Structure 1
């Protein structure tokens, strides 16, 4: 579908629902990349999420991240082709609907919405220690998490161009912090690069070889750290230029993310004075920085990490606001909600009601679950979404011959097959290693809820059926 067709459809639905106008195409590819990478928040991914991989795989975490990078590249190629062919602020659910039909598309929408609401809570829950380290304060975890989530949603309704500058400035600080960490690790290495090829894992106070059984489950954590490059598709209707620009934004976002996460993680593993002490530490990355620097540097790094979390949540809020805007435009809710979600702020040109609505579940999640539980659940659900995208990338050229594929990935169908097989295997090993089947219960509950909501509203939407 050409860009003019997509924009025309959006305007027609906006008129039908009584909205003032549709989203303005005001962002360059660079702007979209800045917002997208900010949403991934490489610094907080390294400090808040990557420690789970280190505890799982020890120095094998670098291999886990390399394997995760290969899978992420396969996923990015799938996103790039699908987003160029099915350009929409709805992202994954629009792709799934146009390839597989209404019900699969709606289930994908609920899955993406759930992940998008959970991730701000995951990131915010781990932010307080960094603020306290930077300022020398003792604020509570929930208080800090609540403050940054609420403020992020308020800032998220600003003009998208303004937010591109805000997130870009914060991202610059974030990258400088990661460069500092990389310098600390590479300038004082405590092990050779060969340790990455023969990784070790701390177990009962000693080091043992890290086997595939430890490394593969940590690939899921790596994918979670990289996750967000595909969120560039939520800004497709804010992006200037042709449909190929959406594909460019996805691919450039991933390349930046891989670079700024893999380099400092490698430096941390090589520079850690003791793998045993690092694995036992409640803050493994902080342990390495403290050992290799001084309190002043640690405070600077902590301030940068806190800003990166704040920046990430702002970017995610912008993206998920577009997702809910798109769902209202496709009449997936009751009519009053559809009208509210598609209302564009006359000054900020943003779907402000859709954006602020999602602050409610994100805030409530801060009080009902732990960081570990949220991380495990979102990794599993994320892998399911990736498998849907891989299947759609396999089928789109065949099923939707009527749609112009403005970008065609190289070596098709190999990338989607790699993505599908890799995501399926990682999901299987992740669930096999889980201590309890809580994630399955949550995903099952979401499925039941989604089917009920589809029967009540979405299946009656003419706009969604004709999408």
Structure 2
């Protein structure tokens, strides 16, 4: 039975123009676990929420509830598209099959830059928390970060099952920490859930004031980065056993789990805060609330939980984006020599070279002062990718209207329309400097697209090979 299923899955992949090289060893539980590790609820709640609290005050609860709904709608779009094109390239591959080739290049560049920036920022976070736990460690924070990158890359280049086992164990620890935080918060509540949710306030100097509608709108864009990473399920599409329907189920399960695992502890932290002024003024508001409830000694548990969460997320980023990079080699986006090497797997049936190639620029970024700007900029590029996913979910119903869909999202086109409008709004509300950065990135990707077309036309003239942009993308 397993052999027949594997044969069908290999045939489906071949129909899309690929050869089965990655090893199908992952169950639904494994893939969902990898995606949750990529989301890293502990990191999201304890660290990433600070920016939303500083902009929108306690409306962070409302912003994340809204975002949680949007995330589920996005997952429905990803589930339908992923079931049609179950390829390891993730969201890049979905755009590549549906939208014009130039947009596929823009998506790819926005996508891959996350695979370098985010692991670097996560590694530096590990360095900071390790130094907090062990201040006498004779290594600087960037050097500790470099060691963590090396360990993650070493795991990422071997069999995918090893990475799945490691992340599943760490996800269990993460959820245990968040559960403890949540239960402890409701044992010692200090704020009214109704009040902080429906009458949000923020800190203005030394006084609490009502949150305005403009502040609510401004807080949606930074909140977009908090529940993010569930799309990692798509990167393991060619290693999941069970077919496209199971892939669609994995995407929606991961997104829903991530939304609940983040919104509930976040809300609990606000309710347990004894003083909202001190809460908003803290470097990490959630950590302040937890320490106030459970005592300062619990900070050690939080530091350990955050270190585990950060390493877990970084490991999955390397595994995930390594597979996206691997797909670009099979698609022939680069020159001939590079395509042959990037589009191959190692003896462990993993895209080891691609993981290593992502690890090198990540290591360089650890020692660059511009990383903070790039971290904030990553929110913009994430939003741009999801914008294209919304468009692709709409256009696929036109372009492939007669093709079978293993999963069809309910109430179409509500989900893709909401996703497209919401992400468009999040993009236009970004600061000018980040919009300028996105314009530069888009220009660079379009220049590479033009170069790619020239290379492929030259190749076609010499050896008759077809242009993937023309045949597969319709560019």
TM-score, with normalisation over the residues of structure 1? 0.92
Distance in 2 of aligned mates of 1:140 and 1:458: 45
Asked if 1:118 corresponds to 2:104, the answer is: no
The aligned length equals 453
Q: 2, 7, 19: which one pairs with 2:13?
A: 7
Counterpart of 2:441 in 1: which secondary structure? helix
SS at match of 1:202: strand
Superposition map of 1:14-53 within 5 A: 22-53=21-52
Partners of 1:321 and 1:408 in 2: CA distance: 29
1:283 aligns with 2:280: no
Using the alignment, how far apart are the partners of 1:3 and 1:182 within structure 2?
Answer: 41
2:468 paired with 1:464? yes
Q: Kindly report which structure 2 residues correspond to 1:181-220, keeping only aligned pairs within 5 A, or say none.
A: 181-194=181-194, 195-220=196-221
Q: Which moved more, 1:374-383 or 1:214-223?
A: 214-223
1:17 corresponds in structure 2 to none
Residues 87, 238 of structure 2: 8 Å contact kept: yes
Whether the 8 Å contact between 2:81 and 2:393 is mirrored in structure 1 is yes
Aligned counterparts of 1:117 and 1:312: Cα–Cα separation in 2: 13
Please say if residues 48 and 126 of structure 1, whose CA atoms lie closer than 8 Å, have aligned partners that are also in contact: no
Q: Give, in whole Å, the separation in 2 of the partners of 1:148 and 1:343.
A: 26
Task: Identify the residue that residue 74 of structure 2 maps to in structure 1.
Answer: 75
Residue 209 of structure 2 aligns to a residue whose secondary structure is strand
Residue 60 of structure 1 aligns with which residue? 59
CA RMSD of aligned residues (A): 1.9
Q: 1:7 and 1:294, CA in 2 relative to 1: closer, same or farther beyond 3 A?
A: same
Write the distance in 2 (CA, Å) between the matches of 1:51 and 1:231: 24
How many angstroms apart in 1 are the aligned matches of 2:240 and 2:426?
Answer: 33
1:393 is displaced (CA, Å) by 0.4
Taking the aligned partners of 1:244 and 1:13, their CA distance within structure 2 comes to 19
Query: Structure 1 residue 376: deviation in Å?
Result: 2.2
Over residues 141-200 of structure 1, what are the superposed CA-to-partner deviations in whole Å (9 max), with x where a residue is unaligned?
A: 323322222321221112111111110001100111111111222111111111211111
Q: State which of 437, 442, 446 in structure 1 corresponds to 2:441.
A: 446
Question: Who is 2:5 aligned against?
Answer: none
In the other structure, the counterpart of 2:462 is: none
Inter-CA distance 463–161: structure 2 relative to 1 (3 Å threshold)? farther
Aligned to 2:144: 144
Establish whether residue 330 from structure 1 lines up as the match of residue 334 from structure 2: no
TM-score, structure 2 normalization: 0.91
The gaps in structure 1 that reach 5 residues or longer are 15-20
Query: How far off its partner does 1:4 sit?
Result: 4.2
**Residues 1:84 and 2:83 are matched in the alignment:** yes
1:358 aligns with 2:358: yes
2:292 is the counterpart of 1:299: no
Match for residue 416 of structure 1?
416
Query: Residue 463 and residue 173 in structure 1: after superposition, are their counterparts in 2 closer, same or farther (change >3 A)?
Result: farther
Using the alignment, how far apart are the partners of 2:73 and 2:268 within structure 1? Answer: 25
| 1:371, distance to aligned residue in structure 2 (A) | 5.8
For the structure 1 residues 374 and 100, does the alpha-carbon distance in structure 2 shift closer, same or farther, using more than 3 Å as the test? same
Give the distance between the partners of 2:220 and 2:185, measured in 1 at CA. Answer: 22
Q: Distance in 2 between matches of 1:23 and 1:84?
A: 18
* 1:308-327 correspondence to structure 2 within 5 Å: 308-327=309-328
